[in-house]
Amino acid sequence: MKVSIVGGSGYTGGELLRILSIHPRVEIQHVFSRSNAGKYIHDVHPFLKGIIKMKFTSLDNLNLIKNSDVVFSCLPHGVSKEMIPKIIDYNVKIIDLSGDFRLKEASLYKRWYHFEHKNPEILAKFVYGIPEIFKEEISKAKYVSVPGCIAIASILALYPFAKRGLIKNTVYIDAKVGSSGSGKNLKISSIFSERFNSIKAYKPAMHRHSPEIETYLQLISNKKFNVLLAAHTVNIVRGILATIYLDHYEELPQIWKYYREDFGNEKFIRIIRNPRGYYKYPDPKFLLGSNFVDIGFEIDEINRKIVLMVALDNLVKGASGNAIQCMNIMFGLNEDEGLNIPPIYPI
């Protein structure tokens, strides 16, 4: 498959290139960048030196993608929606990693992303890219929108309960996210002196992944409920740990049964619960560089609630790895091709 990337300078673009470089069915054609056109890719992504010997292509030459089979768009929120219609004109498959095509209702973008979405007809053509839930839809799709990192973690953890109609009240999600989740743009809050030894609540309410989680869990359950998501940035580079409080009580054997039934055959979902061991619950430290999702759970017998824990690498299963998993499904390949990468440990 001939693959091009639009907006390849950021962390997700670099992670796409890292994984695609070892994919047995992929030929990387063009990597477009406005700010780095003409530079070698390894000048921006030094870990790829000796692996990818290409230069970034200027976006002025976007017509070169017409010979590609699939295009990954890693452009920022708000920019992708302007570029995608131009890419569609070249009749290629598109996998978008921004938030611009995740929500089903164009009106939601004004509230959550602070821009008017002027392409609702294109919005309707995008399939939401969670392979473990929407595999059939992805296999038939021409355009896929990759979920936000907190969103995919939360939706996967909550899916068995939504599917069985067991979510009835507000779901509370507490997410801890590594610094790479905020991208490469320089801000005072992102420099080392500010971030190191720090835990900050950067979005304790009204996080833009909230409507994603609500939209697709409500679609699965056919019930209305709210999501309250509080996001914190923590002193790690990669990884997410989300702790979810579900206003529902179930015995532990039944919860095990739900996850085995729904995810027992999924290649990238691991159920982690070992109360007698040293590593009792999911921890992003043991997922870095991989496409795995680890899900764990516990019950609060006094308050009669379930506590879910879910961890993943925000740049792999939370973005680029999941995008490649979607690509594999779109082209009828084994969904784990190029993704059988063990986590890196210790790190």
Question: Do 75 and 205 have their domain in common?
Answer: no
**Can you tell me the distance from the alpha carbon of 153 to that of 121, in angstroms, rounded to the nearest whole number?**
28
The per-residue pLDDT for range 252-308, each reduced to its tens digit, is 999 999 999 999 999 999 999 988 888 899 999 999 999 999 999 999 999 999 999
Residue 248 φ then ψ, to 5°: -160, 150
324 in a domain, yes or no?
Answer: no
Residue 273 has what pLDDT? 94
Question: Do 177 and 308 have their domain in common?
Answer: yes
79 in a domain, yes or no?
Answer: yes
Question: Do 87 and 219 have their domain in common?
Answer: no
Question: Do 49 and 197 have their domain in common?
Answer: no
* Encoded tokens for 159: 């899916």
Residue 192 has what pLDDT? 79
pLDDT at 21 over 90: yes
Residue 335 has what pLDDT? 97
233 in a domain, yes or no?
Answer: yes
Question: Do 299 and 155 have their domain in common?
Answer: yes
C-alpha distances out from residue 289 to 95, 152, 315, Å: 21, 17, 8
Domain count, the chain: 2
Which of 125, 158, 178 delimits the end of a domain? 125
Question: Do 115 and 168 have their domain in common?
Answer: no
131 in a domain, yes or no?
Answer: no
The per-residue pLDDT for range 101-150, each reduced to its tens digit, is 999 999 999 999 988 898 889 999 999 999 999 999 999 999 999 999 99
User: What CATH number does residue 98 fall under?
Assistant: 3.40.50.720
Question: Do 294 and 173 have their domain in common?
Answer: yes
116 in a domain, yes or no?
Answer: yes
Instruction: Quickly tell me which residue has 């779901």 as its tokens.
Output: 171
Question: Do 111 and 181 have their domain in common?
Answer: no
pTM for the model stands at: 0.96
Residue 126 has what pLDDT? 97
Question: Do 121 and 211 have their domain in common?
Answer: no
Mean residue pLDDT of the chain comes to 95
Question: Do 85 and 40 have their domain in common?
Answer: yes
Q: Is 279 exposed, middle or buried (0-12, 13-18, 19+ CB in 10 A)?
A: exposed
**Can you tell me the distance from the alpha carbon of 139 to that of 331, in angstroms, rounded to the nearest whole number?**
7
Which of 69, 92, 125 delimits the end of a domain? 125
Annotated catalytic, 149?
yes
183 in a domain, yes or no?
Answer: yes
**Can you tell me the distance from the alpha carbon of 294 to that of 286, in angstroms, rounded to the nearest whole number?**
9
Residues 6+ apart with CB under 8 A from 202: 182, 189, 231, 232, 233
User: What CATH number does residue 304 fall under?
Assistant: 3.30.360.10
35 in a domain, yes or no?
Answer: yes
Of 6, 92, 149, 324, the catalytic one is: 149
Question: Do 230 and 308 have their domain in common?
Answer: yes
Q: Residue 236 belongs to what domain range? A: 150-312
Question: Do 166 and 252 have their domain in common?
Answer: yes
Mean pLDDT computed over 320-343: 98
